[in-house]
């Protein structure tokens, strides 16, 4: 049985979509192959995203922020947008694939406060992604 293909889409491809990709591949990798991309990629993976995922033994340190266009023409069973901006600018060609789903999360990169408060926000969003995105795919 081949793995179902999942594309996680956000704007910058530096936090939420990267964490979702890592979680899916680590926790549901026997069923799914996940990729992530951004509509306007930031060009980096946020250090805090790398840090909070490492706490779960998931290594994002070699990941790269990618432009959605590199996936044009590829089939995905699911395309999941994780931010409102990506949902609004989701390209029409993704609809030619499988199901396009929006599961939105706050952007932890917008967090302010002390280092510990910002890290806590990244953990909160990571845990929400774990619950909601993995929960959605587990039910499929």
- Which residues participate in catalysis according to the annotation? 10, 83, 90
- Reported as type and span, the H/E element at residue 134 is helix 115-138
Q: Are 136 and 73 in contact (CB under 8 A)?
A: no
Q: How far apart are CA 108 and CA 112, in angstroms?
A: 9
Q: Are 46 and 67 in contact (CB under 8 A)?
A: no
Burial of 119 (C-beta count, 10 Å sphere; 0-12/13-18/19+)? middle
């Amino acid at each position: 049985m081949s793995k179902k293909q999942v594309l996680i889409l956000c704007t910058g491809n530096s936090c939420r979509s990267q964490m979702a990709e890592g979680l899916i591949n680590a926790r549901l990798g026997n069923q799914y192959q996940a990729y992530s991309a951004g509509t306007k990629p930031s060009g980096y993976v946020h250090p805090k995203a790398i840090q909070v995922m490492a706490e779960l033994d998931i290594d994002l340190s070699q990941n790269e922020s990618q432009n959605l266009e590199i996936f044009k023409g590829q089939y995905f069973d699911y395309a999941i947008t994780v931010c409102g901006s990506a949902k609004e600018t989701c390209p029409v060609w993704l609809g030619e694939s499988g199901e396009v789903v929006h599961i939105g999360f706050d952007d932890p990169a917008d967090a302010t406060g002390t280092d510990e408060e910002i890290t806590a926000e990244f953990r909160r969003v990571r845990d929400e992604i774990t619950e909601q995105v993995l929960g959605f795919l587990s039910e499929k």
